[in-house]
Amino acid sequence: MSQNLNPKLLQKLTYDLKVAVHKNRLVGLWRVLTGFRLLYLGAMIAIVLGAFTRVYYYRVVQYVIDTVVGEGRNTQHLPWLALSFVGLAVLEGTFAYLRGIWSAETAEGIALRLRDYLYDQMQRLPFAFHDYAKTGELIQRSTSDVDAMRRFYADQALGIGRIVALFVVNFTMLLRLNTRIGLLSVVVMPVIVAMSYWFFGRVSKAYDRYQDQEAKLSTVLQENLTGVRVVKAFARQPYEIDKFDRENWERYHLGKKLLIMHSLYWPLSDVLCAGQTILVQAVSAMMAVRGEITVGTYIAVMGMLTWIIWPMRNLGRLIVQVSTGLVSYRRVADVVEQEREDIVAGSVPLDAQIRGALTFENVSFSYQPMAVLQDEDDKRKDKKGKEKETAEPEKKEEELKPVEVLHDISFRCAPGEVVALLGSTGSGKTSIINLLLRFYDYQEGRLALDGVELKDYPRSLLRRNIGIVEQEPFLFSRSIRDNIAYGVHREVTQEEVEQAAQAAAIHDIILTFPQGYDTIVGEKGVTLSGGQRQRVAIARALLKDPRILVLDDATSSVDTETEEQIQQALEVLIPGRTTFIVAHRIQTVMNADLIVVLDKGRIVQSGAHADLIQQPGLYRDIYEIQSRIEEEVVAEVERGVAESEFTFEPAGVLA
Ligand SMILES: Nc1ncnc2c1ncn2[C@@H]1O[C@H](COP(=O)(O)OP(=O)(O)OP(=O)(O)O)[C@@H](O)[C@H]1O
Ligand SMILES: [Mg+2]
């Protein structure tokens, strides 16, 4: 972004838009203008001066007709008068040009700044926000809503300014020429203003719904594309197509309604304006015939009248479009005003060394649902839309209750120890890990890292020192090398990347790809198998060389043999770093220093394997079931029955 930008523009671009948010949309739009106001003022002034040149053009026409042609006086001025026509035209052109470049610089600059800010904002919003915000909605707000705001500054606000300027200047001049004609030329004005005001209200609402429907449509599209594999696997194409069709129809109807409203308004205002012109024309023609006004005045009146009628006719359109700008402002402001996750706040210095001793003391945690991106208009619509989507609004209420997922969690581990989290699905393992990285903050109890409360650590410090392999690792559509080196904030050598890949037992596989480490991973990592993706993610976490390593079910899609390979590599790498392992197989967690067994968000057992195996309880039950299955498997294999088709999923035992 920063290339070729002068420092002044850069300063404008770094203005914190959060302070621009205001309940009153017009005030908000005025604040968004910060840094561009002088330019914009220049554009406005150019418009007013442009209006004056127009009026003086007719004044010169009037003078030429009445004085020079009519009375035959001052004929020697004729060349100068001709020159002044040219001069006025050049002036008008210059003002139009200045207005064009200044307004473009303002509007485009504001849009650039908005897009940048929104992108930044979305990177920095907390997990809790992204859990509840729809991607399509966010895309919509940072593209088409920003564009609507750009048009507000580029066309609508200036357009209205132009209309007002033209009206004031021409109307004043008409009054000065002839009061009766002047007053007569605005009789339709109140009707047009009233009509456009009514229309403005209607279209604003319709546009609101139209915009919302567009967001819905992009959400459907985006979800469908992300989940294309699920859709195909479950043969749900007809359902998905139908769903899209319905939303698409809805949008068609809303769009058609908008256009029909417009096609009613235009002819109607045309008729009114035509009536107005005929009226003034007839009256002033009669006055000219009777000699009450000169022919030059008559012609000047006709010229100026066009510049009053024309603005009147367009005022409605612009006011309507302003309403779309206002709606979009609100939608953008909704995202802008969200609280960012502060990644540097915390009393611990950012460059502190972490040893990796962790203490959980009666930690309880619940996910706090938030109602995000629901503005007044949405809520209003929710009420109205109740008949259509009866179940939804009530469901929303219900969803907003916090869900407590961790109760009274207490355990501790020394630096360099391995902690295994074991428990059925939904028991809270990932949630514990979410707390470690401060993806979410716990509500009760104490969680200390090296004796200091976790909330005192800047998030960025924690995240730099914790390497995580997530349960569903995400790979970018870049080369495998880039994916592995992603978390390291420095240049890495090919050797380092390969070492990490070797430890994650993926190096040999990568070499079999035609482009090796330069192979581009497909979107969402689909060109790799699940296990391969997990191993790339492990390599990514290992290359980071973190003080704390977190493996959330990192080997679930890997066969036992490969898992052992990784396990061995980890054993070499693990010494010195605290490691959290989430796993379903006892085999994986047996050697851990501490095994924490979770059930429904509570710790039901904890200790080392040797101790846990002695006590009756969940751990021993799981152990027995898993060993029995394994014994059976061995027996079956020995009997030679199971060679071909049997499948078994040890993870399923816990599920
Ligand atoms: N972002 C979230 N917002 C609200 N509730 C959540 C969120 N993530 C998880 N939960 C809930 O928290 C509970 C614990 O989920 P968690 O992901 O910690 O389970 P887990 O032990 O990791 O399960 P699994 O073995 O399936 O990964 C679940 O009941 C789940 O519905
Ligand atoms: Mg999980």
CATH number, position 121: 1.20.1560.10
Residue 429 Cα: closest atom of ligand 1: 21
The rounded Å distance from CA 428 to ligand 1 centre is 6
Q: Is 77 exposed, middle or buried (0-12, 13-18, 19+ CB in 10 A)?
A: middle
Please list the ranges in the chain whose pLDDT falls under 50: 1-2, 376-377, 380-397, 642, 646, 648-655
Strand order in the sheet with 444-449: 403-413, 358-367, 444-449, 452-453
User: Does the residue 373 lie in any domain?
Assistant: no
User: Does the residue 150 lie in any domain?
Assistant: yes
Query: What is the structure's pLDDT at 6?
Result: 64
Q: Residue 68 belongs to what domain range?
A: 20-336
Q: How many CB atoms lie within 10 A of CB 284?
A: 25
Residue 427 Cα: closest atom of ligand 1: 21
Looking at ligand 1, which residue's alpha carbon is closest to its atom 13?
A: 426
Euclidean distance between CA atoms 600 and 404, whole angstroms: 10
- DSSP, res 648: -
Residue 431 Cα: closest atom of ligand 1: 18
Looking at ligand 1, which residue's alpha carbon is closest to its atom 6?
A: 367
User: Does the residue 561 lie in any domain?
Assistant: no
Q: What are the beta bridge partners of residue 578? A: 548
Euclidean distance between CA atoms 294 and 642, whole angstroms: 111
User: Does the residue 266 lie in any domain?
Assistant: yes
> Among 366, 430, 470, 599, which is best to mutate for testing ligand 1, by the most ligand atoms less than 8 A from CB?
430
> Among 127, 427, 654, which is best to mutate for testing ligand 1, by the most ligand atoms less than 8 A from CB?
427
Beta strands, E only, 3-65 = none
Residues at CB less than 6 angstroms from ligand 1: 131, 367, 403, 405, 423, 425-431, 471
Euclidean distance between CA atoms 290 and 292, whole angstroms: 6
Contact 267, 313 (CB under 8 A): no
User: Mind listing the pLDDT tens digit for each residue in 421-456?
Assistant: 998 888 999 999 999 999 999 999 999 999 999 999
> Among 363, 367, 422, 603, which is best to mutate for testing ligand 1, by the most ligand atoms less than 8 A from CB?
367
Q: How many CB atoms lie within 10 A of CB 482?
A: 16
Euclidean distance between CA atoms 280 and 170, whole angstroms: 14
Mutual orientation of helices 295-336 and 25-32 as an angle, nearest 10°? 90
The rounded Å distance from CA 406 to ligand 1 centre is 10
Query: What is the structure's pLDDT at 395?
Result: 45
Query: What is the structure's pLDDT at 641?
Result: 54
Query: What is the structure's pLDDT at 399?
Result: 56
Closest ligand (CA of 652): 1
Q: What does the block give as tokens for 452?
A: 């200091």
Residue 428 Cα: closest atom of ligand 1: 18
Query: What is the structure's pLDDT at 151?
Result: 93
Q: Give how far the C-alpha of residue 485 lies from the chain's centroid of Cα atoms, to the nearest Å.
A: 27
User: Does the residue 423 lie in any domain?
Assistant: no
User: Does the residue 545 lie in any domain?
Assistant: no
Per-residue burial over 343-363, b = 16 or more CB atoms within 10 Å of its CB, e = otherwise: eeebebeeeeebbbbbbbeeb
0.85 exceeded by the pTM? no
User: Mind listing the pLDDT tens digit for each residue in 301-327?
Assistant: 998 888 887 777 777 778 777 878 888
The rounded Å distance from CA 431 to ligand 1 centre is 6
User: Does the residue 172 lie in any domain?
Assistant: yes
The rounded Å distance from CA 489 to ligand 2 centre is 27
The rounded Å distance from CA 420 to ligand 1 centre is 17
Number of domains forming the structure of the chain = 1
Euclidean distance between CA atoms 584 and 597, whole angstroms: 11
Euclidean distance between CA atoms 193 and 320, whole angstroms: 12
Residue 433 Cα: closest atom of ligand 1: 18
User: Does the residue 498 lie in any domain?
Assistant: no
Closest ligand (CA of 552): 2
